[in-house]
Structure 1
Amino acid sequence: MTPTFNHSMDMLIRKLDSIAQLSDEERRAIASLPVTGRLLGPDQDIVHEHDHPSQCCLLLDGWACRYQILSEGKRQIFSFHIPGDIPDLQSLHLKVMDHNVCTLTQATVAFIPHEAMLELTAAFPAIAATLWRDTLVDGAIFRQWMVGMGRRTACQAVAHLFCEMYVKLEAVGLARDHAYYLPLTQSELGDALGLSNVHVNRVLRELRTNEWITLHGGKLEIKKWRELTNLCGFDPTYLHLERHAA
């Protein structure tokens, strides 16, 4: 489905502004990128493993994830993505996709031709540096997820993810007062953290019982931010944001 809509690169500019300082000229250059927009339903692949993409996908609305399916059919989610993210930015320089990217909710996606991205980064080295910084932050997030799966308890891992997503959403204006829309199912949380649905359910019950969070109708509110960050050892330094929640 290809909707007619007035595309806005505002979310990408907000995202890049959250990790660097863009000039007005750089913002205008980003805003002028040629894009093709599509409205996708939930659980729809945007790009597949082994594809040879000729464009990058920018998430304008909705949530997405990177994932792989193992030989026995189990899914491992590597990362969650929110508006302003370009989940397959690495396809600019890695010609073959080694994982899948799919929507988790209904999503509006802008496809940017690689040629246009390469011309932008050649003309504006500071934008190239900012996009490189974004991929380095991705690596830092991966390291935190590895620590979570390997060394944190299930409760700590879920709490850490909730804190991480709040700080990322708050940085682009999509969360405030330690509350945000969380569209993830227990199965998706389990696929990201290596936990069973039963284990995720038990952890959520524990977080609610201790009045650290409330979760109703997809709205997550962290009631005790300081206590929750202390529980999981959350330190937002690895997100390398110019601004973040306190």
Structure 2
Amino acid sequence: MARAAEHRALYSSVPLPTANPLTRKLLHFAPLSGADKLLLDELADPEERFPANVDIVAEGMVPRSVFLLKEGMAMRYRNMPDGRRQIMTFLIPGDLCDMHVFLLKEMDHSIGTITPVRVAPISRESLMGLFGSRPRISAALWWSSMQEEAMLRERIVSLGRRDARGRIAYMLCELLWRHTAVGLTDGEVFRLPLTQTELADTLGLTPVHVNRVLKDFRQQGLIAINQRILSLLKVEALQALAGFNKGYLHLGGASAEVRRYFDSLEDAQRGNDRSAGT
């Protein structure tokens, strides 16, 4: 009981707001200490900039680091031999591209910018060091990876079983909740710098079909779009149209049992550190 109270005091004393989008995202998956947050801020401090419509890393390249997206929007995609493009997912601030990249001899897809972006390169040594010394960050990163896999599964469901209206409604709802998780919404309003072609390349539709559905959504009062600012006016109606349940995004984080397990790992780490210092 005292141990639980101690942990509640430790983490409730740390303010939630933070400028680091990675920290804002990971806080949904695991409670982080002040020291954890400072370490994540150090990782996010280096910066590289890329203009819109260029590759951060291209298919076939040997990856040199993991990139944390700090600002802007990017995408994972593959170009087909006939010139068509399939976008797998969109990357927003707080996303890592890719956490497991060091396991690859070469990239099997490309990561390209949609808008100008700011990214922080994170070295293999820095990332691997987290898994050995920071159980809570490790847990949050694993949970984040699970979210990415769940999003890809949901994309398969969408492409296989939703009609055009359902696919677009699902994508808009997913982007809303992902932006909300990192503090990039104002209610149900957020910046969406995507073209109809980019939405079409993601959802297996044509730009003409996307245009038709978006026009229909606007006429029904479901959405409003003005200068790339998207307002979801009837979120529940859009979610019902898509059969959307945000549970697959795992924003509730780990169970109490799993959190206690990582508490024990952290306690063991502290014990090892004290022993090494004596």
- One-letter amino acid of the counterpart of residue 40, structure 1: F
Q: Does 1:155 align with 2:165?
A: yes
Instruction: Describe the superposition over 1:141-180 as per-residue Cα deviations: whole angstroms up to 9, x where unpaired.
Output: 0011111111101011001100000001011110022111
Aligned mate of 2:35, from 1, 25, 29: 25
8 Å contact 1:35–1:112 — kept in the other structure? no
Aligned mate of 1:79, from 72, 89, 98: 89
Aligned to 1:4: none
TM-score by length of 2: 0.81
State the distance in 2 between where 1:32 and 1:233 align: 40
Q: Does 1:130 align with 2:127?
A: no
8 Å contact 1:20–1:242 — kept in the other structure? no
Aligned to 1:16: 26
State the distance in 2 between where 1:208 and 1:17 align: 34
Q: What secondary structure, in the 3-state scheme, does the structure 1 residue paired with 2:175 have?
A: helix
Q: What secondary structure, in the 3-state scheme, does the structure 2 residue paired with 1:67 have?
A: strand
Aligned mate of 2:174, from 147, 164, 168: 164
- One-letter amino acid of the counterpart of residue 150, structure 2: A
How many Å apart are 1:50 and its aligned residue? 1.9
- One-letter amino acid of the counterpart of residue 238, structure 1: Y
1:75-114 to structure 2, matched below 5 A, reads 75-114=85-124
Aligned to 1:5: none
- One-letter amino acid of the counterpart of residue 115, structure 2: T
8 Å contact 1:57–1:87 — kept in the other structure? yes
Q: Which structure has greater helix proportion?
A: 2
State the distance in 2 between where 1:184 and 1:85 align: 17
Q: What secondary structure, in the 3-state scheme, does the structure 1 residue paired with 2:27 have?
A: helix
How many Å apart are 1:18 and its aligned residue? 2.1
Instruction: Describe the superposition over 1:83-119 as per-residue Cα deviations: whole angstroms up to 9, x where unpaired.
Output: 1111211203334211100110011111111111111
Q: What secondary structure, in the 3-state scheme, does the structure 2 residue paired with 1:19 have?
A: coil
- One-letter amino acid of the counterpart of residue 117, structure 1: L
Q: Residues 162, 34 of structure 1: CA spacing in aligned structure 2 closer, same or farther, 3 A cutoff?
A: closer
Q: Residues 223, 125 of structure 1: CA spacing in aligned structure 2 closer, same or farther, 3 A cutoff?
A: same
Percent identity over the alignment is 38
How many Å apart are 1:23 and its aligned residue? 1.8
How many Å apart are 1:20 and its aligned residue? 2.2
Which structure 1 residue ranges, 5 or more long, are not aligned? 1-7
State the distance in 2 between where 1:206 and 1:99 align: 34
Q: What secondary structure, in the 3-state scheme, does the structure 2 residue paired with 1:208 have?
A: helix
State the distance in 1 between where 2:61 and 2:235 align: 41
State the distance in 2 between where 1:9 and 1:212 align: 32
TM-score by length of 1: 0.91
How many Å apart are 1:9 and its aligned residue? 6.9
State the distance in 2 between where 1:36 and 1:203 align: 41
State the distance in 2 between where 1:106 and 1:83 align: 12
Q: Does 1:69 align with 2:79?
A: yes
Report the structure number with the largest CA radius of gyration. Answer: 2
Q: What secondary structure, in the 3-state scheme, does the structure 1 residue paired with 2:47 have?
A: strand
Which structure 2 residue ranges, 5 or more long, are not aligned? 1-17, 254-278
State the distance in 1 between where 2:19 and 2:223 align: 33
Q: Residues 196, 110 of structure 1: CA spacing in aligned structure 2 closer, same or farther, 3 A cutoff?
A: same
8 Å contact 1:61–1:107 — kept in the other structure? yes
Q: What secondary structure, in the 3-state scheme, does the structure 1 residue paired with 2:115 have?
A: coil
How many Å apart are 1:34 and its aligned residue? 7.1
